[in-house]
Amino acid sequence: MASTAVAEAPRPAGFRFGRAARRYGWTVAVYALLALLMVITIAIKPDYGSFEWNTLTLAALPLAFAAVAQTIVVLSGGIDLSVGPLMALANVLALRAMLGHDLNYSLVVALIVLLEVTLAGALNGAIIVVTRVPDIVITLATSFIWAGLALLVLAKPTPGIPLDFQNLAQGSTFSPWVPNALLVLLVIPLVWIPLRRSRAGLAIYAVGSDRNAAFRSGVNLGWSRLLAYAVCGFFAACGGLALSMTTGVGTPLAGTYYTLSGVSAIVLGGVSLAGGRGGMLGPVAAAYILSLIPAVLIYLGIDPNYGQMIQGVLIVIVVMIGGLGVVLRRA
């Protein structure tokens, strides 16, 4: 507080730009990285066409939802290790109920599954708020519960999601370059933008930024955190249904991959794990980047299992660059 008596320094000319760069710089950089990767991909595989693009959007769809689900909880200052199992639960519930039915029936089932898994997410939040046990412990525990439940619903991977329902994501209704899998992503802004602009969204950011200050400002911490977990559950359900659409299979063990890949995507997407900072655009782009890397390796003829390693290296590099930025700003 030594500087309180000192008048504010005059603003440099580039102030407006500087602030915008600070605010959106990371997101822009993530999209630039995605564009660069796309350019590299096309350079490696000159006949990259709408089919490959379609495959990428399909692969990225569940991951994008997993990342968005995780983002909301992390913004509120928590972490949800049960995102993957929640997705698996939604996936197998959908398969069990949809098996052998038509599109309209499947859509009703999808709505019910959304509701159920949203409630499961809310339950995560309620347990955390009531018991005051750290988020990571509770969601680790509930991740086993949801995973076990998924196995009870469906013991082994089973195909049978109605084709019409699959086509909601798999086709390209409008143009081969605008696959439906890209359009399904519109669910995210449809839910997120109104939430972000409501007082509840403000409360989620506030709780994640500084819990004590939010409390003293009269924010209801419990309800805000519960809401974040419920919305996380909703997006996890979207992710599970996306898995159903893109694979056509109910897979009780599909979840494991998505929990931590979702965390990778949000770190890459510029969401602070400390809470309160970040948005939705970055994590979605990061989900595309993480899905593109294995594809590039296949085009290069390299074992795609290296993809996991490259993901890891990429995250370390990205986090280092982020840290470097912070250090430079302080200097």
Partner 1 sequence: MGTKPTGRTPTIPNNLTTEVSDFKQLQERIVKLMLGPVADEVAAEAASPSAPATGAVAVEVRDLKAGILTDITFTLRFGEVLGVAALEGQGQQELFECLAGVRRSESGQIVVGGKTRTFRHPADAIRTGLVLIPADRLQALLRQRSVRENIALPLVNRISRWGPINTRREKRRVEKAVKRLQIDTRVQSEVRRLSGGNQQKVGIARWLVGGFQTLLCFDPTRGIDIGTKRQIYGLIKELAAGGSAVLLFTSELPEIQLACNRVIVLFGGRLVDEMPAAEADEKALLRAAHGLPAEADAEQQA
CB 137, min distance to partner 1, A: 25
Write the CA distances from 294 to 40, 152, 191, 275, 310, integer angstroms. 13, 32, 30, 30, 9
- Spell out, one character per residue from 273 to 302, where the chain touches partner 1: x when CB under 8 A holds, - when not: ---xx-------------------------
Q: Enumerate residues 6+ apart whose C-beta is below 8 A from 209.
A: 77, 275, 276, 277
Site residue total, partner 1 (CB under 8 A): 32
Nearer to partner 1, 144 or 215 (CB): 215
Exposed, middle or buried: residue 10 (CB in 10 Å: 0-12, 13-18, 19+)? exposed
Give the C-alpha separation, 82 to 98, whole Å: 24
Binding piece for partner 1, criterion CB under 8 A, among 86-94, 117-125, 190-198, 255-263: 190-198
| Closest C-alpha among 15, 14, 61, 48 to residue 241 | 61
Find the binding residues for partner 1 in span 205-244 (CB under 8 A).
205-206, 209-210, 212-220, 223
Nearer to partner 1, 116 or 210 (CB): 210
Question: Does 3 engage in binding with partner 1 (CB under 8 A)?
Answer: yes
Buried b (16+ CB within 10 A) or exposed e, 46-63: eebeeeebbebbbbbbbb
Question: Does 199 engage in binding with partner 1 (CB under 8 A)?
Answer: yes
Q: Which of 14, 176, 194, 312 binds partner 1 (CB under 8 A)?
A: 194
Nearer to partner 1, 218 or 301 (CB): 218
Question: Does 19 engage in binding with partner 1 (CB under 8 A)?
Answer: yes
Question: Does 5 engage in binding with partner 1 (CB under 8 A)?
Answer: yes
Question: Does 197 engage in binding with partner 1 (CB under 8 A)?
Answer: yes
Write the CA distances from 47 to 50, 55, 293, integer angstroms. 10, 14, 18
Nearer to partner 1, 112 or 199 (CB): 199
Give the C-alpha separation, 179 to 158, whole Å: 26
Task: With beta carbons less than 8 A apart as the criterion, state whether 273 and 267 touch.
Answer: yes
Nearer to partner 1, 51 or 197 (CB): 197
Task: With beta carbons less than 8 A apart as the criterion, state whether 281 and 27 touch.
Answer: yes
| Closest C-alpha among 233, 239, 104, 232 to residue 169 | 239
Question: Does 175 engage in binding with partner 1 (CB under 8 A)?
Answer: no
Question: Does 202 engage in binding with partner 1 (CB under 8 A)?
Answer: yes
Binding site for partner 1 (CB under 8 A): 1, 3-9, 19, 194, 197-200, 202-203, 205-206, 209-210, 212-220, 223, 276-277
